[in-house]
Structure 1
Amino acid sequence: MPDQSRRSGAGTLWLGAHARSEHQLSLQFGLDDLRFTASYWYEDVDLIDLEHRYGPELLDRVYFHLAAFTANTLVSLQPASFDPGPYQRHCTPEFWSLWRQVIHGVWAQWRFEHDLSDYEGPDLLRSPAEAVPNPTSISDAGVPRILAFFGGGKDSVVSLRLLQQAGMPCDTLVYSSSTYGCAEKQHALCSTLLDALDLPADQRRRIWSYDDLVDSPVARLMPQRDLLPLTAAETPASVFAAVPLVLAHGYRGLSLGHERSADQGNAVWSPTGDEVNHQWGKSAECEQVLADYLRTHLVDNCHYFSPLKAVHDPLIFTLLAAEPDAIPFTHSCNVEKPWCGRCAKCAYVWLGYSAYLPADVVTRTFHGHGNLFDHPANQVWFRQLLGLSEHTPFECVGGIEETRLAFALCQRRGLRGVAMDVFEREVPPVDVDALLARYLDVASLGDWCPPAWRESLEGRLRDAAAEARPRMATS
């Protein structure tokens, strides 16, 4: 069991002064005498010009939020206190509440894996600032455009098409991260997929992010901290990283492809009764918190939402089927892009593709990986996905019933393999029609999505579900 010093943490997580040029923002942060840097590069933003247009104080506030949500990866080293340093005047009670909510939600898995039920992140070193500044507004001139995050997976493709089909003008945002390896490879993969989707070059935005904490050997060289791989609040950080683009180009919406399936946790932790959800940063709870904060504190007429928050993966897979030429260029693996074929994410996506898409498309997408049901490395993932282990995989995957539905649909198609044998031997009979009725249901996108946008997107999703039900029931 962890001793009391581990439960309370040790050391101070601090933020240092930033530096910026036209297209680069460089951040400093650390833990006691450990020092790290992160940089964000913007292709279509002049940061100095933005400071002239909106004032240096607003941009300094934006930089603070980005620094704080980049540096909070260091919560994985269990600091006892947080020092906002030169940004103290921006560290309001509202900011601190948001930061703590994110730490609680995103680091639930980390606490579960380390048996640290009492640790809720660092305490604020000094009292929060009293003044709560007013947000700015984007000009109403022209047709409101949306900036759609595009990571290259099925959700990105379906989200983009939904926005386009609903008549909502949008550009895409591709950002690279040190977490996923070579930046140029990440951008090249997404560019190839966007080419396949026929998106014009002038509707594409890009950010490059480099973080030497993620690339450092800190976990290896500090074994006394008993670390597992570092946890990061990637979604909140990416939202704040996009704010300079919002200001530069007047976007009225930030769109991410977060599905309803992400609202379901992986396990319930008995010491606390808390749900442990690897995907909490993609959940409706987090989405609403970030959407409200963005409008209240930074840009009051920019709305953060997901077009997919009303639906589960089965409907998303069926919508994806409309893009057979683009699907082979999708990629979601967090180990080795485009696909390693041996991780939980690859196992789940391959399963879904095999259940809902034509076999030749699956073969072209996972070329060279063969039948993932048979590979020994995937057996643990399929057991977890099917609910035959202590918890589902700590990855961005669907729930147990969605997995069982996909297995049953693969079974109908005659797909065999070791994992299918386990499904048939250890999982109770699946009522396919009942599960299709449940998972093709369309809920609400949430009242943080503007009513006109919500009505249009929900209507398209309901039409797609109505079309999919009879087809899937007889397939």
Structure 2
Amino acid sequence: MFTSELFEFKQTDFVKESQQLNLHYKQGQYTFCETLTFEHDSLQIDETQPEISNAIKYLHLAAGVSYFKLQPFSQIKMAQTTLNTAQAHFFKKLYINGLAEFAYRNQIDIREACEFPSSDVTQTPLVKATESQEQHALVLIGGGKDSLVSIEALKKSGKKVTLFAVNPAEPILNCVKQSGLPFVSVKRTLDPQLFKLNEAGGLNGHVPITAIISFTALIVAQALGCDAIITSNEASANEATVVKNGVEINHQYSKSYEFEKDFTAFVQKFVHPNLAYFSLLRPFTEMRIVQEFAQFSHYDAVFTSCNKAFKIYHQKSQTRWCLACPKCHFVHLMFAVSGMDEARLKSIFNGNPLNQIEHLQAYRELVGLTENKPWECVGEKLESATAIYMLSQQKITQDYAVIKQLSQAVIQAYGADVLQSASTDLLKARSLHYIPEQYRGCFADV
């Protein structure tokens, strides 16, 4: 078992010639170096610019979570960075909530351990906030339906957009090509020792990857002169995966509105006051997002939401949809209930998991008939339950094996009236979002 009493954030260094950022850490006797290479000829990172220097410093802290979790009871020490109380609180909250699933599944309590040292340091003044700035959005693209809906809405609204991804897999690159938009990528390489120590017994589990990507985007957005970083995190990212002893544990914490709000406040107070960070799809459920996606078809042959196509360390899937994981089950379910014609559904998924009864337990988790939802980026339990109910009311889908087996249990759990109302309510825009005025109007009801 890996043991350590001290976790140190060592130095960062930037190699201008290769545009490579090196992040150094030390955990016990082991030293780690994570690298990020900014892969775009026209993108020049000026690490001496105070705002970019700050972004690098904070990315160093966010990315350290991958190594800290090897032994998350180590005392945190910082060699170069000094945080004030508010900054330390932000990172403590990010580590506690971002590692909540990791802690729950490893049956440990890390809440007392994620203590970032702080002092009453004087903050370097930021650049002055300006009232007008060119609208140029850096949009995170993940290769799935959500970011594609954001991209098409922004294009239709005439917004200037540059796409961004970290370690883009083939589905992302294919979606970028279909979009016709400029693209910047960063190659992130974790220290290979991390995987070896995991295999030797070091603690492992989910980290708040969206937070790490967002801090990386912060560097790129400033280098490009962007006024906004746009994600495509939907309303359902706010729902806890499980609630244990009154504590919410959310697989999607760093995609949640709570993180978005905290990150926005942090960036505008400590990095750049003119840079917005928000999700364009926060007002929408997954069910509504699929309705939006159904209005265009030029990504049908290239997009995927199956996580097996995006593995970092283990073998990537050779197919776009495995149709055996909770993510595939959920996304297919949303498409199945969207009213999309059978031929298009078949061309996208090349199969129908709703007709495979061996997946029944996975669907029970999706609809909320078990203690927790799947540990995946899936929608609200009510969304899945409503979709099952709606499909049970349609002649063409009511005899699918999973629908036939599950529909009565769903009706019993929620009530037919609730599910019927939800079938329309879930398509309406919600008011909880952080979309600034200049980016509203991309959708008619936002």
Following superposition of structure 1 onto structure 2, how do residues 433-448 of structure 1 map, counting pairs within 5 Å? 433-444=420-431, 446=433, 448=434
Please state if 1:242 is matched with 2:222: no
Q: CA deviation at 1:206?
A: 1.5
Query: Where do 5+ consecutive residues of structure 2 fail to align?
Result: 311-319
Separation of aligned partners in 1, 2:109 and 2:197: 23
For 2:354 and 2:427, the matched residues in 1 are separated by 25
Amino acid across the alignment from 1:32: G
For residues 111 and 133 of structure 2, what CA distance do their matches in structure 1 show? 48
Distance 1:146 1:214 in 2: 36
Matched, 1:130 2:121: yes
8 A contact 2:27–2:68 mirrored in 1: no
Aligned residue for 1:328?
301
| Aligned match of 1:277 | 250
Distance 1:444 1:120 in 2: 35
Deviation at 1:373, TM superposition (A): 2.4
Deviation sequence 1:145-201 (CA, Å, 0-9, x none): 11110101111011112222333322111221xxxxxx5xx0x3222223333x24x
Structure 1: runs of 5+ lacking an equivalent: 1-5, 177-182, 463-475
SS in structure 2 at match of 1:311: coil
- Residues of 2 paired with 1:51 and 1:75: CA distance? 25
Structure 1 or 2: more helix by fraction? 1
Residues 317 and 130 of structure 1, relative CA distance in 2, 3 Å threshold:
same
Q: CA deviation digits over 1:189-237, x for unaligned, max 9?
A: 222223333x24xx22212111125961322212xx5x3x422221111
Provide the C-alpha distance between the structure 2 equivalents of 1:372 and 1:137, rounded to a whole number of angstroms. Answer: 54
Deviation at 1:28, TM superposition (A): 1.4
Give 2:438's match in structure 1, choosing from 452, 462, 471: 452
1:87-126 matches, cutoff 5 A: 87=81, 89=82, 91-117=83-109, 119-124=111-116, 126=117
What are the superposed Cα offsets for residues 255-282 of structure 1, whole Å, 9 maximum, x if unpaired?
Answer: 0001011111122111xx1111111111
Q: Does residue 62 of structure 1 match 2:49?
A: no
User: Equivalent residue for 2:325?
Assistant: 343
CA distance in 2, matches of 1:390, 1:325: 39
Query: Does 334-343 or 157-166 show the bigger shift?
Result: 334-343
Q: Which residue, out of 366, 386, 390, partners 1:385? A: 366
The 1:129–1:438 alpha-carbon spacing in structure 2 relative to 1, beyond 3 Å, is same
Q: Supply the distance in 2 between the matched residues of 1:167 and 1:326 (Cα, whole angstroms).
A: 20
Q: Secondary structure at the match of 1:51?
A: coil
Given that residues 69 and 237 in structure 1 are in contact (C-alpha distance below 8 angstroms), is that contact kept between their aligned partners in structure 2?
yes
| Alignment correspondent of 2:154 | 163
TM-score using structure 1 length? 0.82
Structure 1 partner of 2:375: 394
Deviation per residue, 1:237-258 (Å, 9 max, x gap): 1111112222221100000001
Give the corresponding residue for 1:466. none
CA 1:274–1:45 in structure 2 vs 1: closer, same or farther (change >3 Å)?
farther
- Cα 1:275–1:396 shift into 2, 3 Å: same
One-letter amino acid of the structure 2 residue matched with residue 39 of structure 1: T
> Which letter maps to 1:316?
I
- Could you report, residue by residue, the CA deviation over 1:29-56 in whole angstroms, capped at 9, with x for unpaired residues? 131112222111112378876135x2xx
1:204 aligns with 2:177: no
Q: CA deviation at 1:327?
A: 2.5
Contact 1:262 1:279 in 2 (8 A): yes
Equivalent-residue separation in structure 1 for 2:120 and 2:341 (angstroms): 57
Aligned to 2:39: 43
With the length of structure 2 as denominator, give the TM-score of the two structures.
0.87
Letter in 2 for 1:350: H
Identity rate of aligned residues, in percent? 19
Moved more, 26-35 or 371-380: 371-380
**Greater shift in the superposed pair: 390-399 or 41-50:** 41-50
Q: Is contact 2:218–2:229 with CA below 8 Å preserved after alignment?
A: no
Matched pairs, number: 426
Q: 1:405 to 1:413 in 2, by over 3 A?
A: farther
Given that 1:38 and 1:211 are in contact with CA atoms closer than 8 Å, whether structure 2 keeps it comes out as: yes
Could you tell me whether the CA contact under 8 Å between 1:381 and 1:393 is conserved in 2? yes
Aligned equivalent of 2:406:
423
Residues 382, 49 of structure 1: CA spacing in aligned structure 2 closer, same or farther, 3 A cutoff? closer
> How far off is 1:80 after superposition?
2.7
Aligned CA-pair RMSD? 2.6
Structure 1 contact 138–252 (Cα < 8 Å) conserved: no
Letter in 1 for 2:66: T
What SS does structure 1 have at the residue aligned with 2:322?
coil
What secondary structure, in the 3-state scheme, does the structure 1 residue paired with 2:308 have?
coil
